[in-house]
Amino acid sequence: MPYELDEIKKVRKKIGLTQTQLANRAGVSQSLIAKIESGRIDPTYTKTQKIFAALSELEKKEETKANQIMTARLISVSPSDSIREAIAKMKKFQISQLPVIDNHKLVGLVSESTILEAMLNSKGNHVEDVMQESPPIVSKTTSVQVVSSLLKHFPMVIVSEGGKLVGLITKSDLLGNLYREL
């Protein structure tokens, strides 16, 4: 992330660093950080780059990852399950959508709206008859910013680790995380 000189203090404090800690990470003196933050000095390009690189690296470490906000309990249906079974699971667990998994592979998504549409149009009796395309799958180390972007276009994101499906993230999970940060 590119920074401006007048943002150094704000970013440093947000990360929770002292001037000395930032100086040590950037390989510059604490007095240089203090002078920059007070606006008393215009540092060289090289020193500025070192400070910005240190801040950027530290911000990435602080960034929330998918595994920190995901729901680890993956409640799903199979394509051969009846729509009635899918509705029963949604009611039981108070959720509005379910990933469709066949032989440990994500093959689709079924939601309240797809089921309602299918029932109104008599589209079939099984999940495979009404399911939507699969939601995206991300690594557990994917940043929350990427997940947020995906949730603008998909109702859920599936989280995987080493090829195994380990959780899911919905807009509700993301909102819950943002609420905790306030």
3-state SS, one letter per residue, for 60-103? HHHCCEHHHHCECCCCCECCCCEHHHHHHHHHHHCCCEEEEEEC
User: Is residue 62 pLDDT above 70, yes or no?
Assistant: no
Q: Alpha-carbon distance 169 to 158, whole Å?
A: 6
Mean per-residue pLDDT over the chain, rounded: 89
Per-residue confidence band for 164, with pLDDT thresholds at 50, 70 and 90: very high
Residue pLDDT, tens place only, 78-100: 999 999 999 999 999 999 999 99
Q: What is the pLDDT of residues 131-146, one digit of tens each?
A: 999 999 999 989 888 9
Confidence of residue 182 (pLDDT cuts 50, 70, 90): very low
d(CA 7, CA 5): 5
The answer to whether residue 63 scores a pLDDT higher than 80 is no
Bridge partner list, 143: 65
Q: d(Cα 14, Cα 181) in Å, to the nearest integer?
A: 12
Is the separation of the CB atoms in 1 and 59 below 8 Å?
Answer: yes
Q: Stretch 48-59: mean pLDDT, rounded?
A: 86
In whole angstroms, give the CA distance from residue 75 to residue 71: 10
123 within 8 A of 130, measured Cβ to Cβ: yes
What angle (nearest 5°) sits at the alpha carbon of residue 96, between those of residues 94 and 99? 110
Domains and CATH numbers, the chain: 5-62 (1.10.260.40), 66-181 (3.10.580.10)
Mean pLDDT of 2-28: 87
pLDDT tens sequence across 96-124: 999 999 999 999 999 999 999 888 887 88
Residue 76 has a pLDDT of 96
Tokens 């690594």, residue? 139
H or E element that contains 160: strand 156-161
The pair of three-digit structure tokens given for residue 122, joined into one six-digit string: 């008599």
Please give the share of the chain, as a percent, with pLDDT higher than 90.
Answer: 63
Confidence check: pLDDT of 180 > 80? no
Q: What percent of the chain has pLDDT over 70?
A: 95
What letter represents residue 178's amino acid?
Answer: L
Q: What local confidence, expressed as pLDDT, does residue 144 receive?
A: 86
